[in-house]
Chain A
Amino acid sequence: MFEAVAFYLFAFLTIAMFYIVVTTKQALYALTALAAGMIFISAFFFILGADFLGAIQIIVYTGAVMALYAFGMMFFDTTRDVKEKQGNKYIIVGLSTLAAVLIVLIVSVPMVSDNIVALYPVADDIGNVQSVGLVLFTKYLIPFEVAAIMLLVAMVAGIVLAGKKMDLSLTLMSGEEIEDMKKEKNKKVLS
């Protein structure tokens, strides 16, 4: 019973928040609503016994991602409303509704999955974090490492893209301009 109440409550809240995210004209509202929605989602994780995931959700999303977005927003000065010219609303709404209905239509039919044997069963006697760790560092060691590489890539990419060097474009400068710049500013132009 508690589960049902919690589910419906949070389901309602998440849907409402995300609805605001995609409809509001105020970027700040959207950001806030998104953050709230993320937190509500973590509630589902806790309900479902995925404590580790819930924690990660809050830390990564609400902590890191939202902070990043907030910085970005300050940078972009999006308090000014971006006037969003909408093409054809009916296409958008129609398409998404159709998609949702279609999936719901199929998904709402009970799934036959009795004969599934859990490959990495959730152990009752140990905590979620512990068992997650166990799986993560055995079976999913490689994906984990690759994810690390991915984050490294993302970091390097972020630095490179947002870095100052991008302000000048060697691509657009002619050979003479590059030479001139080298001399005048005595700036270290990377080879």
Chain B
Amino acid sequence: MEKYLYIALFAPFVSSLFSALFTATPKKLFTGIIASLLIFTSLVSSTILLIYLFKGGEPIHVEMMTWMATGDLYIPFGFLVDQVSVTMMMVVTLVSTVVHVYAIGYMDHDKGFNRFFSWLSAFVFSMMILVMSDNYAGLFIGWEGVGLCSWGLIGFWFHKESASWAANEAFIMNRIADLGMLIGIFLIYWNTGTLQYDGAFAAFHTLDPTTLTWIGIFLFIGAMGKSAQFPLHTWLADAMEGPTPVSALIHAATMVTAGVYLVIRSNELYSLIPDVGLFIASLGTFVALFAASMALVNRDMKRIIAYSTLSQLGYMFAAAGLGAYWVALFHLMAHAFFKALLFLGAGNVMHAMHDELDPFKMGGLKKVMKWTWIMMTIASLALAGIFPFAGFFSKDTILEAAFADHHYVIYGVLLFTAGLTAFYSFRLVALIFHGEERYKLFGIHPHEAYRFMLVAMSPLLLFAIIAGVFQEPFFHMVEELLRAHEYHIHSHTTLWIMLLGTQIFVGLAILYAYKKYARSGIKVPDGTSATENSFIYKLLINQYYIPYFYEEYIIRPYRELSAVFWQKIDIKIVDATVDGIAGIIYSTGEKTRTMQSGNLSTMLKWMVVGLVVLLSLAVIFGVTVRYSDGAASALSGLGVM
């Protein structure tokens, strides 16, 4: 089985290197094809591993070679394929295969075609390292690696100022979180003496709760950055500057879920510190609502989906925080499928609309883009959690888990958010595909995407529809590792009321969205309507003024402080002190050189002055010594001797 592990891991790497060879050359179609094939190979290997594990095989643990070893520290390149990581591997390879194939079409006309595949495959490789590593340091490699690839891909169209800015923002924000993670890793090392999962997990039980709490907090800070949790969430929406396949793969399906994966992977830790868990759950719930609210009014197609991603990540954290790790993982998987699908659909729309992103400028596209319409509708249904689509199974379980654990506030908020989710998802669908064909005003001639792109998307469509059936087998597979237990609401009545109630609530939200946005006569908002001027609308459209706050109170002061440090402190104080000392010496020389007037008479006077000074000193000393023994001893004690 080990060779499949290595194939799964290194096929993307080979793909990346292969494509990298052609980065500086014009588009070569074969790079896309070969990259896709290699990723597919990885998918196949992952599938084989999945089947192996599913059949009850032992987790595979290999140690490729030593990475760092010094003092007591020993970090190998070790890889572990167990039920959790194989799930992630499946998600990653599957979505990325789809995205690779899709991107062949999507990036068709782009100059950086080859470069794109290089980055994309590099991302897959990093992600594989992240999920397959058997220790925290290896995880961190992947962690930073995906951050790097995310940077490269967000800023893929680097000629756009906004793209490169967003790339840097994403990287730096992630770095802030990475520091937390690094500190968490240090804490683990100095307290357990190892960074291997097995060793560390075993040692956690012996540590005192305070230390564990700190470890938990710092690791979670890491997770917060990667998964864009409040307050480090702003980068995710800005990251939509990248090409849409990137958004689908990285900023919806895989990378952003790495934080969730970290929490799930460290379940042994978090189950020991339920307080931190509760905090995570609360934050997740908050983010779910918070992000959904921003999605309500946004006028950027991709940002709406991004906020929905954020919201769904909140769900996952809520589940993970409450100890329902397997539910979180399952939702992660299901979400990956339908959200990637949604993004790819949005990509089709963008292609058709010549990169127009405002859904108010579209409308009625279902005629031209039938398949896309179907796919996006189904993905939205799945996202909204309508039976029998994937979202229903995963999301409802989270609600059940919250309810079963008697966290009714969390339950209530999540339920409400589910309604919002349904509303904004279908607001989007309605605005894009229904109603009048507003795009004609802008002289755009939309067309359906390439056939093979649609075919490529089909596996995702399939999984978005049927993923729910895997819930039971999945549960059984991961049960041992995640100490999972099924959530059962004790009363069937309650369960049914909840299910139906949720479905009806969500259904109503969908209908409302259709009613409001599928009608004809929608105008492109121009900032005059009453809604647009209401306080809440402004608050939401401005993302609660958080980016403004960051710009105004963090970035700008940092920039100004830097300038002050350089121009005032470094040049005016530190350097000026050094130069000042030299200057004083020099100017003293310059001033006192007049002593050397060149006049012989002055010179003679200096000599006499010297003599007289010496004599005065001699007399003072002599007289003192003669008349005072005390003074003599004091003088001799001056310490010159």
- The interface of chain A, by Cβ under 8 A from chain B, is 87, 91-92, 95-96, 98-99, 102-103, 105-106
Nearest chain B CB to A65's CB is how many angstroms away? 21
Q: Take A87-B601, A91-B605, A92-B605 as given contacts and tell me if A98 and B612 are in contact as well, using a CB distance cutoff of 8 Å.
A: yes
Q: Take A95-B608, A95-B609, A96-B608 as given contacts and tell me if A102 and B616 are in contact as well, using a CB distance cutoff of 8 Å.
A: yes
Q: Main secondary structure on chain B at its contact with chain A?
A: helix
Nearest chain A CB to B597's CB is how many angstroms away? 10
Given contacts A98-B612, A99-B615, A105-B623, 14 further A-B contacts (CB under 8 A): A87-B602, A92-B605, A95-B605, A95-B608, A98-B616, A99-B611, A99-B612, A102-B612, A102-B615, A102-B616, A102-B618, A103-B615, A105-B619, A106-B622
The chain A residue with its CB closest to the CB of B602 is A87
Question: What chain A residues lie within 8 Å of B612 (beta carbons)?
Answer: 95, 98-99, 102
Question: What chain B residues lie within 8 Å of A95 (beta carbons)?
Answer: 605, 608-609, 612
The CA-CA distance from A99 to B618 in the complex, in Å, is: 12
The chain B residue with its CB closest to the CB of A85 is B601
The CA-CA distance from A116 to B319 in the complex, in Å, is: 110
Question: What chain A residues lie within 8 Å of B616 (beta carbons)?
Answer: 98, 102
Cβ < 8 Å to A, chain B residues 258-275: none
A-B contact pairs, 13 of them (CB 8 A): A87-B601, A87-B602, A92-B605, A95-B608, A95-B609, A95-B612, A98-B612, A102-B616, A102-B618, A102-B619, A103-B615, A105-B623, A106-B619
The CA-CA distance from A82 to B615 in the complex, in Å, is: 33
The chain A residue with its CB closest to the CB of B599 is A87
Nearest chain A CB to B618's CB is how many angstroms away? 8
Question: What chain B residues lie within 8 Å of A91 (beta carbons)?
Answer: 605
Question: What chain B residues lie within 8 Å of A98 (beta carbons)?
Answer: 612, 615-616
Question: How many B residues face the partner with a CB closer than 8 A?
Answer: 13
The CA-CA distance from A102 to B612 in the complex, in Å, is: 8
Cβ < 8 Å to A, chain B residues 598-628: 601-602, 605, 608-609, 611-612, 615-616, 618-619, 622-623
Question: What chain B residues lie within 8 Å of A96 (beta carbons)?
Answer: 608
The CA-CA distance from A103 to B612 in the complex, in Å, is: 10
The chain B residue with its CB closest to the CB of A94 is B612
Q: Main secondary structure on chain A at its contact with chain B?
A: helix
Question: What chain B residues lie within 8 Å of A87 (beta carbons)?
Answer: 601-602
The CA-CA distance from A87 to B601 in the complex, in Å, is: 9
The CA-CA distance from A105 to B621 in the complex, in Å, is: 13
The CA-CA distance from A98 to B616 in the complex, in Å, is: 9
Nearest chain B CB to A105's CB is how many angstroms away? 6
Nearest chain A CB to B620's CB is how many angstroms away? 10
List the 10 closest A-B pairs by CB distance, nearest first: A102-B615, A102-B619, A99-B612, A95-B608, A98-B612, A95-B612, A105-B619, A106-B619, A99-B615, A102-B616
The CA-CA distance from A96 to B611 in the complex, in Å, is: 10
The CA-CA distance from A92 to B606 in the complex, in Å, is: 11
Nearest chain A CB to B613's CB is how many angstroms away? 10
Question: What chain B residues lie within 8 Å of A99 (beta carbons)?
Answer: 608, 611-612, 615
The CA-CA distance from A103 to B608 in the complex, in Å, is: 14
The chain A residue with its CB closest to the CB of B622 is A106
The CA-CA distance from A95 to B615 in the complex, in Å, is: 11
Nearest chain B CB to A6's CB is how many angstroms away? 31
Nearest chain B CB to A97's CB is how many angstroms away? 10
Question: What chain A residues lie within 8 Å of B615 (beta carbons)?
Answer: 98-99, 102-103
The CA-CA distance from A103 to B622 in the complex, in Å, is: 12
Q: Which of A87, A91, A96, A102 has the most CB of B within 10 A?
A: A102
Nearest chain A CB to B596's CB is how many angstroms away? 15
Nearest chain A CB to B127's CB is how many angstroms away? 86
The CA-CA distance from A99 to B602 in the complex, in Å, is: 17
The CA-CA distance from A29 to B611 in the complex, in Å, is: 30
Nearest chain B CB to A54's CB is how many angstroms away? 30
The chain A residue with its CB closest to the CB of B615 is A102
The chain A residue with its CB closest to the CB of B605 is A91
Question: What chain A residues lie within 8 Å of B601 (beta carbons)?
Answer: 87
Question: What chain A residues lie within 8 Å of B619 (beta carbons)?
Answer: 102, 105-106
Nearest chain A CB to B546's CB is how many angstroms away? 77
The CA-CA distance from A108 to B329 in the complex, in Å, is: 108
The CA-CA distance from A92 to B604 in the complex, in Å, is: 10
Nearest chain A CB to B622's CB is how many angstroms away? 6
The CA-CA distance from A96 to B602 in the complex, in Å, is: 14
The chain A residue with its CB closest to the CB of B611 is A99
Nearest chain A CB to B338's CB is how many angstroms away? 101
B301-337 vs A, Cβ < 8 Å mask (1 yes, 0 no): 0000000000000000000000000000000000000
The CA-CA distance from A95 to B606 in the complex, in Å, is: 10
The CA-CA distance from A105 to B612 in the complex, in Å, is: 13
The CA-CA distance from A114 to B615 in the complex, in Å, is: 25
The chain A residue with its CB closest to the CB of B601 is A87
The CA-CA distance from A98 to B620 in the complex, in Å, is: 13
The CA-CA distance from A108 to B29 in the complex, in Å, is: 113
The CA-CA distance from A106 to B616 in the complex, in Å, is: 11
The CA-CA distance from A106 to B614 in the complex, in Å, is: 14
